[in-house]
Chain A
Amino acid sequence: MGGFFKSSIGRKIAMALSAFFLMFFLIIHLAVNITSLFSEDVFNELSHFMGTNPLVQFALQPVLIFGVVFHFVMGFVLEIKNKKANGVAYAKNNGAANSTWMSRNMIYSGLAILAFIVLHFIDFWIPELNTKYVVGDMSGLHHGEFRYFNELVEKFHSHIRTIAYVLAFILLGLHLAHGFTSAFQSMGVTAGRKKTLQNIGKAYSIIIPLGFIIIALYHHLKYVLS
């Protein structure tokens, strides 16, 4: 078994497993965030639960961080290995004749998502860790009220940040458009023949990013128009 993850196919499978975990995480993240569209209280309650529950904080969160880091480090490792396998570059290569743009540019959509994650961590995750574990304030309160909803809304006051988020989610959609079925194919599911799976993949890669885009635009427009 030790040699398994050293083989090209083993790495592919590891990439797919981390992808499954990240795709599951995206559903949870969207489910929590979407509540901010219709209920400040529900969003605050859920955020407080996610932010303070020991199981989420000390079991799921480390796995998530490992999943993210693993997925992009392995993505780079594989990209470098694949470039090395190429030899001399073609003078003329018609990639569009036989594959989608998304499938050929996973490294670039991935890099854009990575850049977004850095911004996202600076926006939310690092301040959150600071408040909870450095300052030691686990109450989730600011001036006697839950702070989560206000922190979210405040971030989307900025035009530039909103545009950056929307662009990042479009690239996430493109990444998922190939990544979803690709992960199943790597796990040995004959994705090419499974129309249902392909349709679920299409739906997933549209609905998840679109959900996040709607949340960003909603809070931004609400602020701009008020």
Chain B
Amino acid sequence: MNLTLKIWRQKDSNAKGQMVDYKVTDISEHMSFLEMMDVLNEQLVNSGEEPVAFDHDCREGICGMCSMYINGEAHGPDRGITTCQLHMRMFKDGDTITIEPFRAAAFPVIKDLVVDRMAFERIQQAGGYISVNTSGNTQDANNLPISKHAADEAMDAATCIGCGACVATCKNSSAMLFVGAKVSQYALLPQGQVEAADRVQNMVAQMDLEGFGNCTNTGACEVECPKGISLDNIARMNRELMKAAIK
């Protein structure tokens, strides 16, 4: 298929960017979106132009590295996938596809479609862990009874790959789905209880410090999340913060 691409080009973090049109031809519908971008970049390199910078790593939908806002949606029009798992069969011959970086003040553009998502790392560092002694005297896992229900919910929350689609898609650029998932995966398990109050308070404080917006419960994040992280995690984070505040 032949496509017109409207792509955000920005030389570096200080440069003023703009949308630039490109044509790509003979794109197979079996290609992933990133492979289509590879074809474009090959074309650009061959003609002596600067290739389009975009984030990618595993290309298996599990690392959380690829991003891109495609035709007005994070990771494009398909559901429950990252951009690397988006296939060109989702588009039609002759389509114009708009490709932009994830937008948020807390996710500054580094170059073209690459944004700095280190804010997520700093939120994690503020409390997204448990302090355990791992020096060889680890206790038997079955010593701690955990209900199947709690284990399943914690696992669901832990599937968050930190890609930032929730922030990109949120009209308020709120990071609450990400932080809610990270708070929840520990809040649901006994190992997370000891540091629960500090964790939620510190992670929310860091989230606010990074300049993410305030959630207004539109639910857009849940729809666009490649891992289907539920809004229930935001509700749980709110409960955890209320609990911590009255402690």
Give residues in A with beta carbon < 8 Å to B: 1, 4, 7-13, 78, 81-82, 84-95, 97-100, 103-104, 106, 178, 181-182, 185-193
Complex Cα–Cα for A88 and B13 (A): 13
A85-B172 contact, Cβ under 8 Å, with A7-B204, A9-B237, A185-B231: yes
Chain B residue numbers with a CB within 8 Å of A106 are 216
- The verdict on A1 contacting B219 (CB below 8 Å), with A11-B214, A92-B98, A94-B73 known, is no
Bound together, the chains give a CA A110 to CA B100 distance in angstroms of 31
- Give 20 A-B contacts (CB < 8 Å), ordered by A residue: A4-B241, A8-B174, A8-B176, A8-B207, A84-B105, A84-B213, A87-B103, A90-B100, A91-B6, A91-B8, A92-B100, A93-B72, A94-B73, A98-B169, A185-B231, A185-B234, A185-B238, A188-B235, A189-B235, A191-B217
Q: How far apart are the CA atoms of A98 and B73 in the complex, in Å?
A: 9
Within 8 Å of chain A (Cβ to Cβ): is B242?
Answer: yes
Q: How large is the interface on B (under 10, 10 to 19, 20 to 34, 35 or more residues)?
A: 35 or more
Assembly CA distance A92 to B96 (angstroms): 12
Q: Are B218 and A103 interface neighbours, CB within 8 A? A: yes
Contact partner, A192, options B108, B176, B231, Cβ 8 Å: B231
Please state if B216 and A188 are interface contacts (CB–CB under 8 Å).
no
Binds A, one of B56-64, B141-149, B222-230: B222-230
Among A86, A99, A182, the most chain B Cβ lie within 10 Å of the Cβ of: A99
Sample of 9 further A-B pairs with CB below 8 A, known A81-B213, A92-B98, A106-B216: A4-B245, A8-B207, A85-B105, A86-B105, A94-B73, A98-B218, A99-B219, A186-B238, A189-B235
Complex contact A178–B232 (CB within 8 A): no
- Would you list which residues of chain B between 72 and 105 have a CB under 8 Å from chain A? 72-73, 77, 98, 100, 103-105
Closest CB in chain B relative to A197 CB, distance in Å: 12
Contacts of B211 in A (CB 8 A): 84-85
Nearest-CB distance from A68 to chain B (Å)? 19
Contacts of A186 in B (CB 8 A): 215, 217, 238
User: A85 contacts B174, CB within 8 Å?
Assistant: yes
List the A side residues contacting B216 at CB < 8 Å.
78, 82, 103, 106, 182
Q: Flag whether B220 is at the interface (Cβ < 8 A).
A: yes
Contacting residues, chain A, for B207 (C-beta < 8 A) = 8
* A82 engages B100 (CB within 8 Å): no
From A1, A12, A95, A98, B214 is in contact (CB under 8 Å) with A12
Give the shortest distance, in Å, between A15 (CB) and chain B (any CB).
9
Q: Which residues of B lie under 8 Å from residue A192 when comparing CB positions?
A: 219, 222, 230-232, 235
Query: Are A85 and B104 interface neighbours, CB within 8 A?
Result: yes
Max chain B C-beta neighbours (<10 A), residue from A11, A81, A84, A88 = A88
User: A82, B73: Cβ atoms under 8 Å?
Assistant: no
Find B212's partner among A85, A100, A181 (CB 8 Å cutoff).
A85
Flag whether B69 is at the interface (Cβ < 8 A). yes
B239 at the A/B interface (Cβ < 8 Å)?
yes
Distance in angstroms from A159 CB to nearest chain B CB is 36
Q: Bound complex: CA of A151 vs CA of B231, how far in Å?
A: 47
Which residues in B have their C-beta under 8 angstroms from that of A185?
A: 217, 231, 234-235, 238
Q: Which residues of B contact A93 (CB under 8 A)?
A: 69, 72
Tell whether, in the assembled complex, residue B214 and residue A78 are in contact, meaning their CB atoms are under 8 Å apart. yes
Indicate whether B107 reaches chain A with its CB closer than 8 angstroms. Answer: yes
Q: Does B152 contact A (CB under 8 A)?
A: no
